[in-house]
Amino acid sequence: DGGITQSPKYLFRKEGQNVTLSCEQNLNHDAMYWYRQDPGQGLRLIYYSQIVNDFQKGDIAEGYSVSREKKESFPLTVTSAQKNPTAFYLCASSIRSGVGNQPQHFGDGTRLSIL
Amino acid sequence: DAKTTQPNSMESNEEEPVHLPCNHSTISGTDYIHWYRQLPSQGPEYVIHGLTSNVNNRMASLAIAEDRKSSTLILHRATLRDAAVYYCILRDHGSSNTGKLIFGQGTTLQVKP
């Protein structure tokens, strides 16, 4: 079945440590997105990529980095510069960005906590 | 980005229809109306979308007002598995936009057995 796979499901970060969250899709989608969700809140966009080897900052990119070397993969690194990383992280994809009639497909998320 | 307004919470009885309202008075002509739902500890799930005409799929129906300033998501027979937060989102159709979804607070739907 086609879909988006996020791993790990739970992740713990030590002070000063960088951690990387994995996102893989087999939907052949061009566009991929990373969102952050805090308790009781909606999702906020961290980074997005409209095509391989290209990505742009979203609304809350500080303290995060991404890469898009392959169409199916869009890993997110939470760096030590992100002082409040505890959140639920969601990866999504769509056929293309800028197409209003196409839905986004989401993974099941990674919950990141500070040790 | 155009905004949407939804009630914070709603209750329904199992097996009964549910009508979830959404106001979007500043909607533009190229905005599609999308609905997603999110179960606890899961990613959002696409439900339905539309532009001007009412839409039906296996999950729900979407009724869009003639002036497009409001819409209603209709679950025809609520089940306990429909208990979730429902988000109404406007998504612009244009090459210059990021495609990001702007999530508000959504409506928390409780379904009582």
Show the tokens assigned to B40.
């606890």
B67 contacts A66 by C-beta, under 8 angstroms: no
B56 contacts B73 by C-beta, under 8 angstroms: no
pLDDT in tens, B59-74: 999 999 999 999 999 9
- A41 pLDDT higher than 90: no
Pairwise pLDDT comparison (A38 vs B1), residue with the higher score: A38
**Taking CB atoms and an 8 Å cutoff, what residues of chain B touch A100?**
30-32, 91-94, 97
Q: What is the overall mean pLDDT for chain A?
A: 92
Provide the terminal-to-terminal Cα distance of chain B, rounded to the nearest Å.
38
CA distance B18 to chain A (A): 22
Contact at CB, A97 and B97, closer than 8 angstroms = yes
pLDDT in tens, A11-27: 998 888 999 999 999 99
**Chain A stretch 83-112, residues whose beta carbon is closer than 8 A to a beta carbon of chain B:** 88, 90, 92, 94, 96-101, 103-109, 111
Determine what percent of chain B is predicted with pLDDT higher than 90.
74
Question: Which residue in A42, A100, A103 is closest to B46 by CB distance?
Answer: A103
Contact at CB, B49 and A101, closer than 8 angstroms = yes
**Identity of residue A106:** F
pLDDT in tens, B82-104: 999 999 998 876 655 677 787 88
| pLDDT of amino acid A114 | 87
Show the tokens assigned to B53.
């005409």
Task: Measure the CA–CA gap between A14 and A87, rounded to whole angstroms.
Answer: 15
> What residues pair up with B33 in beta bridges, in sequence order?
B50, B90
Angle at A89 between CA A95 and CA A70, to 5 degrees: 45
CA distance readout (Å), B10 to A51, B13, B14, B19: 40, 11, 13, 9
**Chain B stretch 17-36, residues whose beta carbon is closer than 8 A to a beta carbon of chain A:** 30-32, 34
Show the tokens assigned to A38.
């805090």
pLDDT band at A101 (very low <50, low <70, confident <90, very high): confident
